[in-house]
Amino acid sequence: MINSVDEFIIYDDMQFTKRDWRNRNTIKTPNGLQWLTIPVKVKGKFFQKINETEIDGSSWAEKHWRTIQMNYSKAPAFKMYESKIQQLYEQAAQKKLLSDVNFMFISEACSMLGINTKIRWSSEFNLLDGKTERLLDLCKQVGATRYISGPSARDYIVESLFFKESIDLRWMNYRDYPEYPQKFGGFQHSVSILDLIFNLGTEAKTALKSFNGGVVYE
């Protein structure tokens, strides 16, 4: 999605939700998929923004890195990126906010894949009330003529409001991604981008539809 737009806004001043992709992801292991989770401090049932969510401790970073080393050390391109990813984890261990860690990893992944899209925070903007109204106004503030959304947002976005403002609303298409060689058994789509990078190296972008002419959105 990031490679398919001119500007990508991280929507991180919304509510943090538990057991979501914001603080965890999966990798492949000989025993199947394994979650790598960043422990965070959740303030009970009170509203907590993503960009206010603090990381609980720093030992998680070394644990994640050791787990990645154990499972990807023999991947074709691991040595090529080993030093950079290790440095990222060392820097991440010093961060207090989840958003800062996510931004750092997203930015570095984009750099590795040759993606140069401008990335901004939603907290940089004045936001309106209302789920659709807020997204629509973000588009207007940056002069957007098209908005690409994840498909789950179909449940709450009012499409007619985008049509009224002549902003083309499209939905990300996560189907039909090409398979690539992976370790440990059959192909798994739902893994971290690190799996792709460690297995394909400089050819990683060939597995991304935005680089090879596939249908990215609908």
In this prediction, residue 45 has a pLDDT band, given cuts at 50, 70 and 90, of low
**Residues spanned by the domain of 93:** 2-212
Q: Looking at the 3D structure of the chain, how many domains does it have?
A: 1
Residues 6+ apart with CB under 8 A from 216: 1, 4, 148, 172, 173, 209, 210
How far is 88 from 12, CA to CA, in rounded Å?
21
Q: What was the pLDDT predicted at 192? A: 97
95 located within any domain: yes
User: In this structure, what token pair is assigned to residue 214?
Assistant: 């596939």
Q: What was the pLDDT predicted at 187? A: 95
Range scoring the smallest mean pLDDT among 46-50, 155-159, 192-196: 46-50
DSSP letter, residue 171: E
Q: What was the pLDDT predicted at 46? A: 64
44 located within any domain: yes
What is the sign of the dihedral through the CA atoms of 29, 30, 32 and 37? negative
Q: What was the pLDDT predicted at 127? A: 87
pLDDT in tens, 19-33: 889 999 999 999 999
pLDDT in tens, 76-134: 999 999 999 999 999 999 999 999 999 999 999 999 999 999 999 999 998 888 999 99
Residues 6+ apart with CB under 8 A from 151: 171, 172, 173, 174
What residue has token string 């959740």? Answer: 42
Q: What is the mean pLDDT of the chain?
A: 94
Beta bridge partners of 41: 54
Angle formed by the axes of helices 98-113 and 78-92, to 10°? 160
Q: Decide: 149 and 129 in contact? Cβ < 8 Å.
A: no
218 located within any domain: no
217 located within any domain: no
Q: What was the pLDDT predicted at 213? A: 87
Q: What was the pLDDT predicted at 214? A: 86
For residues 14 and 94, which has the higher predicted lDDT (pLDDT)? 94
